Amino acid sequence: MKFTINNTDNNTNARAGCIETSHGEIQTPVFMPVGTQGTVKAVHQKELKQEINADIILSNTYHLYLRPGVEIIEKAGGIHKFINWNSNILTDSGGYQVYSLASRRKITDNGVEFKSHIDGSSHLFTPEKVIDIQRSIGADIIMAFDECPAYPCEFDYAKKSINLTHKWLDRCIKRFDSTDDKYGYKQFLFPIVQGSTYKDLRIQSAEYIANTNSFGNAIGGLSVGEPAEEMYAMNEVVCEVLPKDKPRYLMGVGTPINLLENIALGIDMFDCVMPTRNARNGMLFTSKGTINIKNNKWKDNFSAIDDDEITYVDKEYSKAYLRHLFSVNEILAKQIASIHNLGFYSWLISESRKHIIDGDFLNWKNKMVKVLNKRL
């Protein structure tokens, strides 16, 4: 992996760069559409490539392990061949999904025992097993196994949690270094900073992660219910500690405003289900504000979905038609809205990059934040 910073903003910590892997270049900042189970819901790979211009997508170790299973993915020749995606893929370790199974899991020093949300069967994830699974899946970037504490949590629990995460990280690195790539291209392991909303713990964790000298570094355990200002405060202190010459990945974030504010803090990579999940519920993000397309006010609005025409659906269909599709529960409604929202996120990130390069990112960001707060 090669990471090059091409431009830095004079008024913020934003930077524009490029990550290079065996599956191509990733222009940063970057938003990664989430394809949890090997698919970005309601969106074809062709649309991801040609309309949304995705350099990288995300999938999930926990879900792929349960279905279709590691054996099937190995038989296919790895995740890229299985889903017919020739660009970059990142897999989350499954730590967050296990965290979300609070009533179905037991955490020990060895790992996490959990029951499948599908059939109740029992499983054990250890750091070693998670690395082995991700080796078999074959994503370009794989994540260390971590514990994600709930918000809010007591200081003592958060401290125990980062100590466990660091122990698991050491085991992940040892396993990663002692195993080979399976499909003829290099994989890269990212560790994850934890620490809840305690600055001293975040700094302690960031220092530990920085000392591993990994290819890139992630920040986890945020956007789990804490106020946005606390998220920004945590990322600010962490970005001051993490090495500047490595990509920084903020996991599971977030709203368009969250993206802009965190880019300003020095974050390079993002993922979130928000654009597709909200799309399936009729919420559209645009450069002029947010639209609830299910509202009655759009029933006879025959203007294009989005005048900016970022993707083909924006000019192909009217707001009235899209509202109608939602009102009769047509699957096409979710497809159109998902392509639109992912296209908008891609556009927003691309514009951020342009303004970082042009040197006026801060002024542009502040104007955009005001606009993005509007409900149309």
Show which residues are catalytic.
92, 271
What tokens were used for 132?
């082995």
What tokens were used for 248?
């920084």
Closest C-alpha to 48, from 319, 349, 303, 339: 339
Q: How far apart are the first and last CA of the chain?
A: 43
Rounded to whole angstroms, the Cα distance separating 361 from 131 reads 38
Q: What is the dihedral of CA 190, 191, 197, 198, to 10 degrees?
A: -140
Rounded to whole angstroms, the Cα distance separating 32 from 40 reads 10
What tokens were used for 287?
């450069």
